[in-house]
């Protein structure tokens, strides 16, 4: 049902980059770590993720979708194993270690779920999840996901272009940005209220970025509804930006004429700019962005791959930033 309404210095922790493989490879890698004397924290994270993978209670509800024919929507790269994509996550509402979301997100209640759309739009409203699902046909898109800590994945998402919802609500002429506000319930999200970030988690896009066909409103992954730890029941996916730009568990989408203040930009403006486009030539102040490790591929000691400009989507999105100084507008 659609209900009409009237027209309102933290240091980023980095967990161990542990990539589980077949049993023999895992054992071999952990023995190497032990030999170098650095196995303690790594072993704890590795063991935690392995236990979570074994405890998966069967498949989640299927979410049917046709493969997308949008340019750039279907990479042919090897897909990251499901267990890696669901046990190695950033979702600070459930903890700061990569294994924490899978351990703690079971408390998140995803039904009923409402997303409010307001601000500078002609048709504000409150959308039940079912209404959002019916708004457009679901598509499967295989996107790269690149995180600022230097790791990446390839994930088959299910959803539709954010532009479908934007067109539905009809932004006013002075709407220049879209702000995305996520769930912040301390009763079901145990780390909300911590001093890590200013809650609720907020993100934002320029209107042309939000309208780009590759910007996805996602409801599922791997042919199933989203697991809680991956942003259930609805999240944003912006594949040419660092992963923290893709807000999870959305509850409000607001259209504004001013650039929104975003969670990580408020926490450390010198490290996390508003645009946050994947750019190998612009390093994070504390580490390089020139290379990345693909999670689930060839083990912990695999050679890193070169980071691609705009995460490999330069042909599709590069024109959005024509004439901009990308080192200044990072």
- Average pLDDT per block of 10 residues along the chain, 330 residues long: 40 37 37 40 41 52 94 96 96 97 97 98 98 97 97 98 98 98 97 94 98 98 98 98 98 98 96 97 94 84 90 98 96
**Measured distance CA(227)–CA(97) in Å, rounded:** 17
Task: Give the model confidence (pLDDT) of 120-173 as tens digits.
Answer: 999 999 999 999 999 999 999 999 999 999 999 999 999 999 999 999 999 999
Q: Are 108 and 163 members of one domain? A: yes
**Measured distance CA(203)–CA(145) in Å, rounded:** 17
Q: How many domains does the chain have?
A: 2
Q: Are 91 and 143 members of one domain? A: yes
Element (H, E) at 119: strand 114-119
CA-closest candidate to residue 101, choices 90, 109, 110, 112: 90
Task: Look up the domain containing 35 and give its range.
Answer: 19-55
Q: Are 71 and 39 members of one domain? A: no
Q: Are 42 and 189 members of one domain? A: no
Q: Would you say 253 and 180 are in contact if contact means Cβ atoms under 8 Å apart?
A: yes
Tell me the three state secondary structure of residue 161: strand
Cα pseudo-dihedral 308, 313, 314, 316, rounded to 10: 170
Tell me the three state secondary structure of residue 118: strand
CA-closest candidate to residue 220, choices 62, 2, 327, 47: 62
Domain assignment of residue 142, yes or no: yes
**Two structure tokens written together for 214:** 């590759």
């Amino acid at each position: 049902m659609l209900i009409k309404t009237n027209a309102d210095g933290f240091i980023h922790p980095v967990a161990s980059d542990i990539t589980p493989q077949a049993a023999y490879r895992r054992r071999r890698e952990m023995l190497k770590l032990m030999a170098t004397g650095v196995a303690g924290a790594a072993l704890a994270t590795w063991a935690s993720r392995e236990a979570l993978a074994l405890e998966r209670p069967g498949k989640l509800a299927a979410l049917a979708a046709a493969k997308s024919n949008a340019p750039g929507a279907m990479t042919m790269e090897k897909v990251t194993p499901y267990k890696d994509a669901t046990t190695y996550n950033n979702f600070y509402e459930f903890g700061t270690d990569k294994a924490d979301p899978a351990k703690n997100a079971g408390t998140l209640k995803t039904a009923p779920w409402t997303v409010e759309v307001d601000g500078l739009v002609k048709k504000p409203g409150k959308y039940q999840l079912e209404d959002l699902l019916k708004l457009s046909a679901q598509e499967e898109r295989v996107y790269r996901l690149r995180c600022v800590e230097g790791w990446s994945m390839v994930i088959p998402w299910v959803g539709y272009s954010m532009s479908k919802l934007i067109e539905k609500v009809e932004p006013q002429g002075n709407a220049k940005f879209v702000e995305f506000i996520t769930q912040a319930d301390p009763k079901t999200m145990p780390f909300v209220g911590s001093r890590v970030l200013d809650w609720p988690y907020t993100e934002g896009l320029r209107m042309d970025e939000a309208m780009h066909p590759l910007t996805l409103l996602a409801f599922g992954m791997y042919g199933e509804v989203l697991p809680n730890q991956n942003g259930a029941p609805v999240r944003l996916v912006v594949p040419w930006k660092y992963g923290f730009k893709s807000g999870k568990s959305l509850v409000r989408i607001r259209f504004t004429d001013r650039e929104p203040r975003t969670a990580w930009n408020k926490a450390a403006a010198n490290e996390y700019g508003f645009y946050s486009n994947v750019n190998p030539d612009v390093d994070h102040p504390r580490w390089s962005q020139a290379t990345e490790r693909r999670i689930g591929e060839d083990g912990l000691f695999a050679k890193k791959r070169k980071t691609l400009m705009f995460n490999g989507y330069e042909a599709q999105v590069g024109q959005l930033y024509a004439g901009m100084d990308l080192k200044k507008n990072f």
